[in-house]
Amino acid sequence: MTTSTPRRRLLALAAGSLALTAALAGCSSSGGKKAEEKNASAASGGGPRLKIAMVTHSGAGDTFWDIVQKGAKAAAAKDNVQFLYSADPDGGRQAQLVQTAIDQKVDGIVVTLAKPDAMKDVLARAAAAKIPVVSINSGADASAKVGALVHFGQDESVAGEAAGRQLARIGAKKALCVVHEQGNVGLEARCAGAKKAFGGTMQNLYVTGTNMPQVKSAITAKLQADKGIDGVLTLGAPFAATAVQSEQEAGSKAKIGTFDMNKDLIASIKDGSIQFAVDQQPYLQGYEAVDELWLYKNNGNVLGGGRPVLTGPAVVTKDNADQIAPFAERGTR
């Protein structure tokens, strides 16, 4: 008896262990998987997969909009959202793209309002279809009027003033403000703000932003014709790089500042060929727009309390370029 009892106890323990192992195996192959799926669903709000369309006034080959899309896609991945993107600089065609999104019965639309008059009718149709809309980047003043829940971007007038003060700080007295898209209310507001705060003389130079050789020749011609121009303000990073070429070709010593960022621009700021950039943090605009629509659909949340949510301006100079460089290198600033 003394030898068999411990043996029976060992056998009982072994049987219990086998039963527990089998039970755990059953959980991991069926119940455990279901639990994981349930947890994943809870992490994304527990709702169905959403479809969100972003329709902007610019996009193809533009480093700024590449960064916007990176932010939007990051939020879409987090929120279990199918993200659709399209763009057209023509206001009428942009409105047609919004109508396509409405016809696709998307769950939300992100739109820019560079030409708000062209967008108001189609956004009224989005409202009639009960599709929530968020605006980004351009048209903060028009956002609430066309029924958007919230606007994510910078106040373009305030950002323009920041650029004007920065131009004055680096010693410019007579400057060009290079407008690469006529009729864009945001770009006009930037130049108006810059002119207000600059203190010197500033004139707008209108160029065709889709034709970079024309942009270069127009800036070069202006710098050659007026040697007194000592400052150039461009409204997008690619145009700043072109302005540097124009300055060199014209034999000018004009100092160049710009709006918006990319990794090449950081290098130009560090080497002094470009003096500063006014950054509106486009990654944030894309990310917050998608996240806001997800929050609204899943929890009824609206950010901003009826006011635009500001993502800028932040001025980047040689003093802080090193801090921004790693993020610009990976394409998120």
Q: What is the pLDDT of residues 283-302, one digit of tens each?
A: 999 999 999 999 999 999 99
Residue with tokens 């006009």: 188
Question: Lowest-pLDDT range, 37-51, 160-174, 264-278, 303-317?
Answer: 37-51
Task: Describe the chain by its helix, strand, coil percentages, rounded to 5.
Answer: 55, 15, 30
Question: What is the secondary structure of 224-281 as a DSSP string?
Answer: HH-TT--EEEESSHHHHHHHHHHHHHHT---EEEEES--HHHHHHHHHTSS-EEEE--
Q: Provide the pairing of β-strand 174-179 with 231-234.
A: parallel
Model confidence at 18: pLDDT above 50: no
**Is pTM beyond 0.85 here?**
no
User: What's the pLDDT score for residue 32?
Assistant: 45
Whole-angstrom distance, CA of residue 108 vs CA of residue 49 = 12
Question: What sections of 129-184 are H helices per DSSP?
Answer: 140-143, 156-169
* Token output for 325: 């460089």
Interatomic CA distance for residues 216 and 207, integer angstroms: 9
pLDDT above 90 covers what percent of the chain? 79
Assign domain 50-154+282-302 to its CATH superfamily.
Response regulator (3.40.50.2300)
The superfamily in CATH containing domain 156-279 is Response regulator (3.40.50.2300)
| Average model confidence (pLDDT) across the chain | 88
Banded pLDDT at 58 (limits 50, 70, 90): confident
State the CB neighbour count (10 A cutoff) for residue 185: 18
Residue 160, phi then psi, degrees to nearest 5:
-60, -40
**Residue range(s) occupied by CATH 3.40.50.2300 in the chain:** 50-154+282-302, 156-279
Share of the chain above pLDDT 70, in %: 85
- CB hemisphere CA count around 130 (13 angstroms): 1
What is the arithmetic mean of pLDDT over 34-53? 60
Q: List, for residues 204-261, the tens digit of each pLDDT value.
A: 999 999 999 999 999 999 999 999 999 999 999 999 999 999 999 999 999 999 999 8
**What confidence score (pLDDT) does residue 193 get?**
98
Question: From edge to edge, which strands make up the β-sheet containing 50-56?
Answer: 81-87, 50-56, 108-112, 133-136, 151-153, 309-310
Binned at pLDDT 50, 70 and 90, residue 5 comes out as very low
* pLDDT band at residue 183 under the 50/70/90 scheme: confident
Q: What is the pLDDT of residues 75-86, one digit of tens each?
A: 999 999 999 999
If one counts every other C-beta atom within 10 angstroms of the C-beta of residue 249, the result is 14
State pLDDT tens for residues 258-272. 999 888 999 999 999
pLDDT at 4 over 80: no
For position 63, what pLDDT does the model report? 85
Residue 46 has pLDDT above 60, yes or no: no
